Chain A
Amino acid sequence: MTLWEYVEDRWDLILFETAQHASMVAQCVLVAAVLGVLIGVATYRRPRLASLATASSGVLFTVPSLAMLGLLIPALGLGVAPSVTAIVLYALLPIIRNTVVGLQGVDQLVVDAARGIGMSRGRSLTRIELPLAWPVILTGIRVSTQLAMGIGAVAAYVSGPGLGEQIFSGLARLGGANAVNSTLTGTIGVAILALLFDGCFVLLGKLTAPEGPLSRRLTTGGVRG
């Protein structure tokens, strides 16, 4: 059986697993993005706290994903729970780090102006600092997404959902019928998904750039009907 025949034969299953994989990665990155930006916002003004946050997420980062998943089994069992937890933990680091770097990189003169014309801390953060740090934060989310794609595949080790199932079952039956086809399908599927997600980020980045169409709409629209 050729690879193409294999894919045609199991089209429904592969499509389902791909959708599962995409959905898991998207949701995990979303959670990690919300958590990561919040942690970044909470710590960026205090250098010591900020380096503690990046250092501890950095330590997590050095744990091999297979080991991490294994370590999570006693606490969370098998299936979705350990997979999601591991992906979120890994996805946090680039987002926290980029949020801190992005916010600290905002021109102090601009922040001073925002405070000086009477913006509260919160307003300055949401209207000025976060929008200006956004390209850097978005890059962090993008890196996290690529990371989550790969770890999502490994998550099949703890019976997690997604395309990892194809890869692991293929590897387990190496030499048997369709073993290579299965592994290849899983691998190529993850690669295609990763490219699609990355494309979305490029588009999102262009739309939300500080001088991009969305920002133009938001800022000028506020002034002129």
Chain B
Amino acid sequence: MADQSTTGVPIELRKVTKAFPGGGEPAVRELDLNIPAGEIVVLVGPSGCGKTTTMRMINRLIEPTSGDIVIDGRSSHDIDPDRLRRNIGYVIQQAGLFPHMTVAANIAQVPKMLGWDRARIAERVDELLTLVGLDAEAYRDTFPRRLSGGQQQRVGVARALAADPPVLLMDEPFGALDPISRERLQDELLGLQDDLAKTIVFVTHDIDEALKIGDHIAIMKAPGHIVQYATPAEILTNPADGYVEQFLGAGSSMRLLRLTKVGDIEVDQVPYASEDADAAAVLVEIERDGRGYALITDGMRRPLRWVSAEQLQGVEGPVGSAGDAITGTLGHRMTLQDALEALLNADNDVVPVVGRRRAYAGALSLSTVQNAIQAIKTRERERRLHRNHPGGSG
């Protein structure tokens, strides 16, 4: 049970409306939203657009006026609200930890309500602290006040995950943190999600956070409706209307760079060979490729040197130590933005890309990045056309 964690379930909002008594315009108006299982869906918009209200209706902290919310095929209306909430992790701004309880006791609250025995709870608490990157021995018995904001929020996440719920609601969880902690916790959340595959509904007013975290993003506008619901790349390349464009602000292409990993684009395939490869054969390879150079790697395919056709002229037998040592490599998990930064600072026009175990995976140049961005934009445009004329001739 402990090693097999529960993965996400789908959530469906059907014509959900929330009107507060005496509040005039409804806070949320006939909202439809399909949240696929195991995805992070971000609700983003300016304050007062109804995003928090929408999220709080999922665990019934706010009761919808009309409409239905279906979680894993069951209408949330038919489940006792307290029991419903014990199966939905809840993370809020500044963590909302119970200040009079130790870290362990904070995390233990939901398992306790579910009637777990002490030994199992203690084991789970340590497991979770390790999972969120805190040393269990050091932090278990401390009080929240003694933790930094980032550490508190880690405990907040651990508390939400305690009973291994399929769904997590996160209400501006990193809003109160400094930019560095925020970035780090975002990365860690994404890392966790790779393993856990929960269904996460994430509320933020920060579009950059939304673009980074979300598998899908719902851009909301007051009074309580969704203007665009799409993947980050689609929102960047094809904003639904002026409101979304304004909300995105300038720099969509730069954001696309930040969103795309080096491994996601087609990198250049420069010929490569190991040190003991025959120089003449490498030369033939270079001439066939037409670029005029090749990469020399070690036995584990790790890049060592660039070698040009001229440098290989007249070399007999193995390549050996011919060529110029490389000055750096790019990881395939780097964002294109970071890669671009590295390319601009590099001594060569072309920098090798390495994948797992630092093995050669391709090469990147400024023009490759440029072409990749163009390709993404074209692809999104074609997808849009295709969607507007489904099954159309031509």
Contact = CB atoms under 8 A, between A and B. Distances in A.
Interface stretch (A28-36, A54-62, A109-117, A195-203): A109-117
B383 interface: no
Nearest to A132: B100
Nearest to A220: B102
B143 interface: yes
Contacts of B202: none
Given A110-B96, A112-B92, A216-B102, A117 B145 contact: no
Interface residues of B, number: 39
A75 interface: no
Most buried by B among A109, A119, A219: A219
A222 B82 contact: no
Contact of A128 (B98, B125, B159): B98
A131 interface: yes
B264 to A, nearest CB: 36
A116 to B, nearest CB: 4
A112 B61 contact: yes
Interface string A211-225: 100011001101111
Contacts of B105: 219-220, 222-223
Contacts of A109: 92-94, 96
A219 B92 contact: no
Contacts of A114: 98
Contacts of A110: 96-99
B189 to A, nearest CB: 18
Contacts of A222: 105, 108, 112, 118
B90 interface: yes
A225 B121 CA distance: 10
Nearest to A215: B100
Contacts of B112: 222
Most buried by A among B94, B109, B159, B160: B109
B121 to A, nearest CB: 6
Contacts of A115: 61, 85
Interface in B54-93: 59, 61, 82-87, 90, 92-93
A110 B110 CA distance: 15
Contacts of B61: 112, 115-116
A223 B90 contact: no
Contacts of A216: 102, 141
Contact of A118 (B86, B100, B145): B86
B250 to A, nearest CB: 34
Given A132-B100, A223-B125, 19 more contacts: A109-B92, A109-B94, A110-B98, A117-B109, A117-B160, A118-B83, A119-B109, A119-B113, A128-B98, A128-B100, A132-B99, A211-B143, A219-B105, A220-B102, A220-B104, A220-B105, A223-B118, A225-B118, A225-B119
Interface of B: 59, 61, 82-87, 90, 92-102, 104-105, 108-110, 112-113, 118-119, 121-122, 125, 140-141, 143, 145, 159-160, 169
Give the 7 A-B residue pairs with the shortest CB-CB distance, closest first: A113-B96, A118-B86, A118-B85, A210-B100, A116-B90, A219-B105, A219-B101
